[in-house]
Amino acid sequence: MRILVTILCALSILGQARAAENRPNVLFIALDDLNDWIGCLGGHPQTKTPNLDRLAASGVLFRNAYTAAASCNPSRTAIFSGRPPHRSGLYHNLQKMREVMPEAELLPQYFSKQGYWSAGSGKMLHYIIDPPSWDDYFPAKAKDNPFPHTFYPAKRPVNLPRGGDWQYVETDWAALDVTDEQFGGDWAVTKWIGEQLQRKHDKPFFLACGIYRPHEPWFVPKKYFEPFPLESIQLPPGYKADDVDDLPPAGQRLARNRYFAHIQKHEQWEKGIQAYLASIHFADAMLGRVLDALEKSPQRDNTIVVLWSDHGWHLGEKEHWQKFTGWRVCARVPLMIRVPKGAPGLPEGTTPGSVCDRPVSLVDLFGTLSDLCGLPPKPDIDNRSLAPLLRNPKAEWPCAALTHLDKPENYAISTQRWRYIHYAGDEEELYDLETDPHEWTNLATQPEHANKLAEMRLLAPKNLAPVHQSKP
| Nearest distance in Å: CB 170, Ca ion | 12
| Nearest distance in Å: CB 30, Ca ion | 9
Looking at beta carbons only, is 112 or 403 nearer to Ca ion? 403
Which of the stretches 45-53, 87-95, 245-253, 392-400 binds Ca ion when contact is defined by CB under 5 A? 245-253
Q: Does residue 449 carry a catalytic annotation?
A: no
Looking at beta carbons only, is 317 or 371 nearer to Ca ion? 317
443 binds Ca ion (CB under 5 A): no
246 binds Ca ion (CB under 5 A): yes
- Alpha-carbon distance 372 to 108, whole Å? 15
Strands annotated E in 145-297:
173-176, 205-211, 218-221
Looking at beta carbons only, is 174 or 211 nearer to Ca ion? 211
How many residues lie near Ca ion (CB under 5 A)?
7
3-state secondary structure of 413: strand
Cβ contact 453:440 at 8 Å: no
Residue type, 83: R
Residues 6+ apart with CB under 8 A from 194: 289, 290, 292, 293
Looking at beta carbons only, is 121 or 385 nearer to Ca ion? 121
- Alpha-carbon distance 82 to 104, whole Å? 10
| Nearest distance in Å: CB 212, Ca ion | 9
- Alpha-carbon distance 415 to 434, whole Å? 11
Give the residue nearest to Ca ion (CB): 72
Q: Quickly list DSSP for 422-459.
A: EETTTEEEEEETTT-TT--S--TT-GGGHHHHHHHHTT
Q: Print the binding letters for residues 411-440 with Ca ion: x by CB under 5 A, - otherwise.
A: -----------------------------x
Which of the stretches 136-144, 187-195, 237-245, 258-266 binds Ca ion when contact is defined by CB under 5 A? 237-245
Of the candidates 40, 72, 209, 373, the residue annotated as catalytic is 72
| Nearest distance in Å: CB 240, Ca ion | 7
| Nearest distance in Å: CB 313, Ca ion | 8
Closest listed residue to residue 433, CA positions, set 15, 131, 32, 36? 36
Q: Print the binding letters for residues 177-216 with Ca ion: x by CB under 5 A, - otherwise.
A: ----------------------------------------
Looking at beta carbons only, is 33 or 36 nearer to Ca ion? 33
Closest listed residue to residue 268, CA positions, set 333, 309, 315, 214? 315
Beta-strand pair 205-211/25-31: parallel
- Rule CB under 5 A: choose which of 36, 105, 186, 243 binds Ca ion: 243
| Nearest distance in Å: CB 120, Ca ion | 16
CA-based radius of gyration for the chain: 22
Q: Does residue 72 carry a catalytic annotation?
A: yes
Give residues 279-338 in contact with Ca ion (rule: CB under 5 A): 310
3-state helix/strand/coil string of 299-363: CHHHEEEEEEECCCCEECHHHCEECCCCCHHHHEEEEEEECCCCECCECCCCCCCEEECCCEEHH
Q: Print the binding letters for residues 19-48 with Ca ion: x by CB under 5 A, - otherwise.
A: -------------xx---------------
72 binds Ca ion (CB under 5 A): yes
Which of the stretches 43-51, 57-65, 216-224, 238-246 binds Ca ion when contact is defined by CB under 5 A? 238-246
Exposure string of 357-370, with b = 16+ CB inside 10 Å and e = fewer, is ebbbbbbbbbbbbb
Looking at beta carbons only, is 87 or 213 nearer to Ca ion? 213
Looking at beta carbons only, is 246 or 270 nearer to Ca ion? 246
| Nearest distance in Å: CB 123, Ca ion | 8
Long-range contacts of range 459-462, CB-CB < 8 Å, 24 or more positions apart?
Answer: 459/400, 459/413, 459/415, 459/420, 460/411, 460/413, 460/422, 461/86, 461/402, 461/411
| Nearest distance in Å: CB 260, Ca ion | 15
Give residues 75-134 in contact with Ca ion (rule: CB under 5 A): none
Looking at beta carbons only, is 240 or 407 nearer to Ca ion? 240
* Alpha-carbon separation of residue 301 from 193, 295, 338, 349, 387 (angstroms): 17, 9, 11, 10, 18
Of the candidates 86, 126, 311, 422, the residue annotated as catalytic is 126
Residue type, 389: L
Q: Which residues bind Ca ion (CB under 5 A)?
A: 32-33, 72, 243, 246, 310, 440
Q: Which residues are catalytic?
A: 72, 126
